[in-house]
Structure 1
Amino acid sequence: MEGLPGAVRSIRVSRVVVVVIGAGVYGAAVSASLVRRGARVVVVDGGAPASGTSGATFSWTNSCGKQPRVYHDLNVAGMEAHRRLAAEVPHGGWYHEGGNLEWAGTDAESEALRAKVAGVLEYGYAARWVDRAEVLRLEPDLDPAAVPDEAAFFPREGWIEPAPLVAHLLSSGAEVVRNDPVTGLDIEGGTVRAVRLASKRRLAADAVVNCAGPQAARIAGFAGLSLPMRNTRGVLVYTSPVAVAAARVLHTPRVDLRPDGAGRLLLHTGRTDGAVRVAEAGEITVEQSTVEEVLEAGRALYPGLRAATVESVRVGERPIPGDGLPVLGRAPGLPNLHFAVSHSGATLCLHAGDLVAAEVLGDDQSDTLAPFRFERF
């Protein structure tokens, strides 16, 4: 963030051209950091910015029970990066740090939650137990009958609105190429020389960053690399605007939810994810009965939701590397090909994206990125 690292002496960075593949939160964050560091950046996407996973995500910012410790710490740094940017752009409006309330429904869930709270407290992470009265003070429109005697509260967690964040990051000066999928990489002498697009356009590049999310394995394949991914689909239910004072993330036994702006709420459950149906032609649908069950679960928490209807249902594909941890930094054998791919992109994008951008321009980040490099596979 403070200009070019001192280690870069042989390159005039103003002439370095970096092609960033993917215009979601990662691609936008990497590109903004590269531009700040003096690079010329072209961001390419097969659709519109934030129209893929970043447009259909719960976007919860947290490091709540994430393991191992190095991954937890990376997420904590990601949360802090959001706070810094929100302070720098106070009218951005995309960052919401209201905390996260979580409670259990069974003895086994309660035991797991207690273990999680104890674990994050050991790491110095902000968490505390609150009673019913405190929960209702935080969320006064909850039905008191739906609130347990105690719940866990993680006050530094929150959520982001990905689309306006992506718009802000892409306004930094990068060229954005929309609706033009990548069809190949030109490689010569162990170096990526160019990115080929469906339009037949060829983008010469000094470096390439794979921020393609669910399509990251396909992009890696163009370079002869096999990136193991275990992507999953997530279903999000958006309500119509309703007069309910919901201000923070909630994780409850029947439904997870958060505000989504303009009076809407966003609801999710694992059961909804299992209701996705993909036709032979590729059309994706969600069973309507399951969607209604999710809305009813929300109404059981907030009686004010009885007036709400389902405004939309979105299905996103979560990019999850094979071992669940991020893939960040340079690729083996291709020093100018870099990765920024992970689950938890909403939390990690600003911090991890900045680390990757620094390394693209010659500032080795092995102290932080070593556990997350591609070669571990």
Structure 2
Amino acid sequence: MRVVVVGAGVYGAAVAAELARRGADVTVVDGGFPAGGTSGATYSWTNSSGKQPRSYHDLNVAGMKAHRRLARGVPGSDWYHEGGNLEWGGDDSERERLQRKVKTMLGYGYEARWLKREEVLRLEPDVNPAELPADEIAYFPAEGWIEPTRLIGHLLSTVDGQRMWGDAVTDIEVSGDLVHSVQLASGRRLPADAMVNCAGPQAADVAMLAGLDLPMDNKRGALIYTSPVAVSVARVVHAPRVQLRPDGAGRLLLKSFEIDDSVQVSDTGEISVEQAAVDKVVEAGCALYPGIRTGSVESVRVGERPIPADGLPVLGRVPGLPNFHFAVSHSGATLSLHAGALVAAEVMGEDHDQELAPFRFERF
């Protein structure tokens, strides 16, 4: 089976790897380069805390397990970090919301527990104790983060097929109720027995080429990368004014919802982030981990998060066009391995309707 996978982010790489494992003749195309879009500018937190409805929560839990299995099965794998996640509220409203979340997650059988300040300091000794509440600090030990570029590199290395970078999809030939070929900007035409749309923020544009209307509500998010700092941060941390995690080689990644709102796009399409918002997030990070003050901001990146209109993934085949498949969602870092494998299996003829039914395109 000749399958064209559009997009070389975490979803495209995961789908392509599973298709290749199953014997498909896979061609991966991308208008840029692997990990050059959302996957290269993502917080990449692997989790399912607070995700609703239950079917979406369960899909994310399965995604977390898939990361664990792959990392254990690949000698020398270094892209998966399961250090857990710490979270606490800054006011009564945030604390009540966190209490409800933990209660719901425990009811689902999700691993969570409450820690006191002294317990957190044993886990994160470089945290400023004054920034921690005395208790009611939620700990989700099975959560973590991935290095998407390293993961994508591994997955694509398992695909013995064509890879076409810097060559965007410009047309999709549909005849009757089937996709027959994919046209690229270079003029190349790729015959296809099936195709999978893993184009992330551009998924709606790719779908439109096949006559499909995919409603998306993409959002931009800003990430702050520090220079290497001699600060011990071993896990994902969600404090009231800043969220942060390690990013390898002594660097840290910082973000907040507030800085996302400061992303600006000029009339010419240039993307920038207000410096005052960057400074505010960095100052919050320094208050939490004082050792960050010895470093500097190395870069600020803006990624566009692909979010279907109702917030849930769009996965699997399309009614009326059964050889066109989607693998598009927010939380791609968590979901990609498991959801991508389900989509690939369906491309190859397996029935996974029980798992994919809540996430079908036709709900729109």
TM-score by length of 2: 0.99
What's 2:347 paired with?
A: 360
CA distance in 2, matches of 1:374, 1:170: 26
What's 1:164 paired with?
A: 150
CA distance in 2, matches of 1:81, 1:27: 16
What's 1:6 paired with?
A: none
What's 2:55 paired with?
A: 70
What's 2:204 paired with?
A: 217
C-alpha deviation, 1:92, in angstroms: 1.4
What are the superposed Cα offsets for residues 186-234 of structure 1, whole Å, 9 maximum, x if unpaired?
Answer: 0111110011111111111100000000000001101111101000000
SS, match of residue 222 in structure 2 = strand
SS, match of residue 250 in structure 2 = coil
C-alpha deviation, 1:254, in angstroms: 0.2
CA distance in 1, matches of 2:105, 2:92: 20
User: Which of 269, 285, 302 lines up with 1:298 in the alignment?
Assistant: 285
SS, match of residue 187 in structure 1 = strand
CA distance in 1, matches of 2:348, 2:332: 22
C-alpha deviation, 1:283, in angstroms: 0.7
C-alpha deviation, 1:289, in angstroms: 1.5
Matched, 1:41 2:21: no
What's 2:315 paired with?
A: 328
Q: How do 1:107-256 residues align onto structure 2 when only pairs under 5 Å count?
A: 107-150=92-135, 151-172=137-158, 173-256=160-243
Supply the AA of the counterpart residue of 2:214: L
User: Which of 336, 344, 351 lines up with 2:338 in the alignment?
Assistant: 351
SS, match of residue 166 in structure 1 = helix
User: Which of 65, 70, 78 lines up with 1:80 in the alignment?
Assistant: 65
Supply the AA of the counterpart residue of 1:169: L
What's 1:13 paired with?
A: none
Query: Identical aligned pairs, as a percentage?
Result: 68
SS, match of residue 82 in structure 1 = helix
Supply the AA of the counterpart residue of 1:147: L
CA distance in 1, matches of 2:115, 2:75: 30
What are the superposed Cα offsets for residues 253-288 of structure 1, whole Å, 9 maximum, x if unpaired?
Answer: 000000000000000001111111111111101111
Asked if 2 retains the 8 angstrom alpha-carbon contact of 1:31 and 1:174, the reply is no
CA distance in 2, matches of 1:91, 1:244: 25
Matched, 1:315 2:302: yes
What's 2:274 paired with?
A: 287
Supply the AA of the counterpart residue of 2:208: G
What's 2:357 paired with?
A: 370
SS, match of residue 28 in structure 1 = helix
Q: Any stretches of 5+ residues in structure 2 without a counterpart? A: none
CA distance in 1, matches of 2:19, 2:361: 21
CA distance in 2, matches of 1:92, 1:83: 11
CA distance in 2, matches of 1:249, 1:27: 26
Q: Any stretches of 5+ residues in structure 1 without a counterpart? A: 1-15
SS, match of residue 71 in structure 1 = helix
CA distance in 1, matches of 2:347, 2:16: 11
User: Which of 254, 258, 261 lines up with 1:271 in the alignment?
Assistant: 258
TM-score by length of 1: 0.95
Give the number of equivalent residue pairs.
362
SS, match of residue 28 in structure 2 = strand
Supply the AA of the counterpart residue of 1:31: A
Asked if 2 retains the 8 angstrom alpha-carbon contact of 1:100 and 1:155, the reply is yes
CA distance in 2, matches of 1:152, 1:274: 26
Asked if 2 retains the 8 angstrom alpha-carbon contact of 1:59 and 1:159, the reply is yes
C-alpha deviation, 1:90, in angstroms: 3.8
Supply the AA of the counterpart residue of 1:373: R
C-alpha deviation, 1:89, in angstroms: 1.2
Asked if 2 retains the 8 angstrom alpha-carbon contact of 1:230 and 1:319, the reply is yes
Asked if 2 retains the 8 angstrom alpha-carbon contact of 1:21 and 1:211, the reply is yes
Alignment RMSD (CA, Å): 0.6
